[in-house]
Amino acid sequence: MSDGKPARAANIFDVARLAGVSHQTVSRVLNGLPNVRPATRERVEQAIAQLRYSPSPAARSLVSRRTRTIGLIAPAVSDHGPIRIGMHFSMAARAARYSVDMVTTVDDDPGAVRAAIEGLLRQRVDAIVLIVMDIGVLEMVRGLDLSVPVVAAASSARRSPLLVQIDQYRGARSAVRHLAELGHTRIAHIAGPARAADAVERVRGWRDELAERGLPVVDLVYGDWSAADGYRIGREMDLEPGMAIFTSNDLTALGLLSALRERSISVPEDVSVVGFDDIPEAAYLYPPLTTVRQDFAALGELMLQKVLVALEEGEGETTDTPLPTHLIVRESARRRGADPADPTEAAEADPRLAWRE
């Protein structure tokens, strides 16, 4: 029985539920993007027709004055993560027939980021995407109220419709868990900058995993993400046999490995090391680096999909689950007390080395 109220117009999430797909897939169909199976595309199109779905009036009113340009604000740094995120977002945008106007700013200056936003708005971009590293910049972005959709790639314990992110916290916990399961009880952490959002989440994960296992929280050192700083810290650290070090990124690990080699400290025989990022060079370090892999391509795609949903619906109300990380086990971490000359011990340290009959 009708209660006399007008029926609510269908939205993109209703279409997704009826078709049994994600709202990102519906967005891909609406925008004519590739990589959607024909059967899936047909289900989505049938759901659209059945629900008589069309983008919201607010979104339709934007269509006539869209420039098909998205403003991208990125920190002026050479770090692997921000560069890869920006590259994959730009590739996804081009595939969706959007151009990207990129601006770089000082990564820890909220005023510079705000000025960049104002400049992009004057150019009448359809949306603004930010790659945010600094927690002060993130707080400024959270307070924005703009006339165009805003999406930020930033790490935070606070979920938000504004944010897309890779799960730094659980990634850090997986690194520490791996070292603890190898028998290490003293696990140091060389963190990134204290105000870097990714570093904050990785420190939180390191602390929580140690606390859950009843291990001491010791030897926290802050660095600047660079190999040079990893080398400097590695020269100065107070180390002991059987210790493990979790570094906040692979470049720091690279410098650390060099410093330990100069000090005649063997990795992984004396000290185990785990990094974060899985840069292309990680597999070719000596020893090959155990690390936490981030899927920057998936993050770039998710950023674009969130923008497209906001443009189609006239709003961005989705809060996405952070993308998972993956622990990549190589040779820089070893079971405490394992004898590299003993094939049984080596197999326990790394199941991939088990002898076969």
pLDDT in tens, 177-223: 999 999 999 999 999 999 999 999 999 999 999 999 999 998 899 99
Q: Sheet holding 163-164: strands in order across?
A: 99-105, 69-75, 127-131, 150-153, 163-164
pLDDT attached to residue 317: 54
pLDDT attached to residue 51: 86
DSSP E strands, the chain: 69-75, 99-105, 127-131, 150-153, 163-164, 187-191, 220-222, 243-247, 271-274, 291-293, 326-328
Q: Are the folds of 62-166+296-323 and 168-294+327-338 the same?
A: yes
pLDDT attached to residue 340: 53
Q: What is the mean pLDDT of residues 324-329?
A: 97
Domain ranges of the chain: 12-54, 62-166+296-323, 168-294+327-338
- Least confident span in 20-29, 120-129, 310-319: 310-319
For residue 190, count CB atoms less than 10 angstroms from its CB and return exposed for 0-12, middle for 13-18, buried for 19 or more. Answer: buried
pLDDT in tens, 64-122: 467 889 999 998 877 888 899 999 999 999 988 899 999 988 767 888 898 999 899 88
- Least confident span in 112-116, 340-344, 348-352: 348-352
CATH no., domain 12-54: 1.10.260.40
CA angle (128, 132, 143) in 5-degree steps = 65
% of the chain residues with pLDDT over 70 = 85
Better-scored residue on pLDDT, 30 or 229: 229
What does the DSSP 8-state code read for residue 73? E
- Least confident span in 9-18, 203-212, 267-276, 313-322: 313-322
- All residues at 6 or more sequence positions from 210 whose CB lies less than 8 Å from its CB, including other chains: 176, 180, 187, 216, 217
Per-residue pLDDT band for 23 (boundaries 50, 70, 90) equals: confident
pLDDT attached to residue 34: 65
* Integer Rg of the chain from CA: 24
- Least confident span in 97-101, 145-149, 226-230, 231-235: 145-149
pLDDT attached to residue 109: 82
Per-residue pLDDT band for 348 (boundaries 50, 70, 90) equals: very low
pLDDT attached to residue 205: 98
Strongest mean pLDDT among 12-21, 151-160, 311-320, 331-340: 151-160
Residues 183/337, Cβ–Cβ less than 8 Å:
yes
Q: Which CATH number fits domain 168-294+327-338: 3.40.50.300, 3.30.465.10, 3.40.50.2300, 1.20.1630.10?
A: 3.40.50.2300
With H, G, I as helix, E, B as strand and everything else as coil, classify residue 138.
Answer: helix
Strongest mean pLDDT among 8-12, 66-70, 303-307: 303-307
Q: Which CATH number fits domain 62-166+296-323: 3.30.43.10, 3.40.50.300, 3.40.50.1360, 3.40.50.2300?
A: 3.40.50.2300
pLDDT attached to residue 351: 42
- The predicted model scores a pTM of 0.77
pLDDT attached to residue 344: 41
